[in-house]
Amino acid sequence: MTRPNEVRASLSARRRAAELDALAGGAPVDVLVVGGGVTGTGVALDAASRGLSVALVEAHDLAFGTSRWSSKLVHGGLRYLAHGHVRLARQSAVERDILLRRTAPHLTRPMAQLFPRYADASAAAEALTAAGLTAGDALRRLAGTPSALLPRPRSVPAAQALTLAPGLREAGLHGGMLAFDGALTDDARLVVALARTAAGLGARVLTRVRALELAADRVRARDELTGEHVELRARQVVNAAGVWAGGLVPSVRLRPSRGSHLVLDGRATGLGETALMVGVPGETNRFVFLLPQPGGRVYLGLTDEPLDGEATDITEVPESDVDFLLDVASRVLARPPTRADVLGSFAGLRPLLDSADGRTSDLSREHAVLTDAATGVVTVVGGKLTTYRVMARDTVDAAVRAARLRAPASRTARLPLIGAADRAALATVEAPRALVRRYGTEAPRVAALGDVDPALARPVADGSDVTAGEVVWAVRHEGALSADDVLHRRTRLGLVAPEAEAARPEVTDLVERSLRGLR
Ligand SMILES: Cc1cc2nc3c(=O)[nH]c(=O)nc-3n(C[C@H](O)[C@H](O)[C@H](O)COP(=O)(O)OP(=O)(O)OC[C@H]3O[C@@H](n4cnc5c(N)ncnc54)[C@H](O)[C@@H]3O)c2cc1C
């Protein structure tokens, strides 16, 4: 199989300008993708790895939309099992295995999760959770994931639960279930890795290009940097614009739901590395998560509320979500978290298909590939981050059929993303662990920037674990075009506003100098 070329996998402002120029008014590509989230970049990679010519346009930046606001779980689909969606749960378990062991070991890790059991818990809910975890483990085995990577779930006594999660409230604690699932270091970095791997196979990845009007074989678009209008031609156009997909193809009807997270200082929660899954009072199989992150933060999420009105670019976290999340966490933590412990917050919108009445949390998370009868545009919506690869495969299959392209079957199950290596190899990469978690086998190249110029080894702000070298790398190789791209998507400094603002002057200067070739 063709492997991505590392040099070609570099995205930069210069490459963007040259490729947009060549594409506008030039020969059609086989597949033109609209949307640079996990779905669109996944489609671009699937198509490029089948030998098709590909371009992708993204209105803002890679991972600008929902894909950077997820819970960052690569999950086996416990909730789908509870709702009887066995096929979807099985698919999730298989995709989790592919991400953890083949395509992105560098960006993923196993995460221990504790479901604490308190005296006042409903026995039925406990039994359902235990049954779900057992069934989920059967799917893990079917997917071929070894128990050395994701150990079997087991019941633990109260003393062990407290060792795993020292911040738990002790009064009334009867123990809990310990289970293991997958987690991403950073969802936005998965999207960047997908885009760069696609670019390494020849895909043209063009950020700051907004699609205005779609037909099966062309897109009218605007270069958001110059304001210039361009027409881009293709044998098949694919709409992967997430919650904005319906704005481009009106027959696509979505019912987005909002999910919010709070960013807490890990010390305030008293948690170690084990996540807590806390049942929402009065509901079965709905959980609020406390998810410890490398670097000491804990994400507290998640809500699932229908969105009123249109999807805006950025979704705010309403006060009611803050209260709800703090309230649920307070039920299980020895020291109830307060608003003073909240360092930041983020919310995203799930692009769920409007397929049924009822609450959005009960709508199916299955994805759909729809070919619009009026225009012939292929749209992909729904699904989730964990299953992006099958979504992409099904979408490219549909595009190939619709445009009668000649292409082999999907190859992405065996195609490691840029920076990937197996866990044993990653353990021997000679670079700081924090860099290996973000860049995998490319970490020594990022670290080497600081060897050549010691100023680039320094953090971008006091106390930050992001170095100046990472900013330069983001501009030279990861397609960052502005300080915001770096603060909010190549790094996640933006999750805590004061930290982003402390780093902004240095990041802005580095980005500007790198764009001018002075760095
Ligand atoms: C709160 C929350 C938590 C979640 N947690 C998880 C989780 O832990 N694990 C999991 O597997 N899944 C999770 N999901 C689901 C997952 O995040 C989404 O299904 C997935 O990210 C959707 O990706 P997407 O590429 O379809 O959409 P997006 O990421 O929104 O991408 C669409 C892109 O299209 C661009 N765009 C829009 N209009 C145009 C235009 N006119 N021209 C060009 N570009 C355009 C946007 O800028 C955007 O970048 C979660 C979802 C939410 C909301």
Average pLDDT over residues 481-499: 97
Closest C-alpha to ligand 1, atom 25: 37
Over residues 177-186, the mean pLDDT reads 97
Q: Which residues contact 485 (CB under 8 A, 6 or more apart)?
A: 61, 474, 479, 511
The mean-pLDDT minimum among 294-298, 335-339, 439-443 falls in 294-298
Mean model confidence pLDDT for the chain? 94
Query: Ligand 1, from 39, 43, 70: best to mutate by most atoms within 8 Å of Cβ?
Result: 70
**What length is written for the chain?**
519
**Which residue's alpha carbon is nearest to atom 18 within ligand 1?**
384
Give tens-digit pLDDT for 7-32: 799 999 999 999 999 999 899 999 99
Q: What is the 3-state secondary structure (H, E, C) of 446-507?
A: HHHHHHHCHHHHCECCCCCCCEHHHHHHHHHHECCCCHHHHHHHHCCHHHCHHHHHHHHHHH
Average confidence (pLDDT) over 101-107: 98
pLDDT tens digit string along 321-350? Answer: 999 999 999 999 999 999 999 999 999 999
Residue 358 has pLDDT above 60, yes or no: no
Ligand 1 atom at minimum distance from 63 CA: 49
Q: What percent of the chain has pLDDT over 70?
A: 97
Give CA separation, 316 vs 113, 249, 322, 487, in Å: 28, 26, 11, 18
* φ/ψ of residue 323, rounded to 5: -60, -45
Assess contact for 372 and 251: CB atoms under 8 A.
Answer: yes
For residue 308, which phi and psi values (nearest 5 degrees)?
A: -90, 125
**pLDDT value at position 362?**
44
**Atom number, ligand 1, closest to the C-alpha of residue 302:** 1
d(CA 466, CA 85): 41
Q: Rounded distance, CA 261 to CA 69, Å?
A: 8
pLDDT at 364: 58
394-434: pLDDT as tens digits? 999 999 999 999 999 999 999 999 999 999 999 999 999 99
Ligand 1 centroid to Cα of residue 166, in Å, is: 34
How far is it, in rounded angstroms, from Cα 115 to Cα 177?
5
Q: Which of 218-232, 296-310, 322-336, 481-495 has the lowest mean pLDDT?
A: 296-310
The protein residue with its alpha carbon nearest to ligand 1, atom 4, reads 70
Which residues does 508 contact at the CB level (< 8 Å), separation at least 6?
483
Distance, in Å, from the CA atom of 364 to the CA atom of 357, rounded to the nearest integer, reads 11
DSSP-based three-state secondary structure for 88: helix
What gap in Å lies between CA 477 and CA 475, rounded to an integer?
6
* Residues lining ligand 1, Cβ inside 6 A: 34-40, 57-60, 64-67, 69-73, 75, 210-211, 240-244, 248, 259, 302, 348-351, 383-386
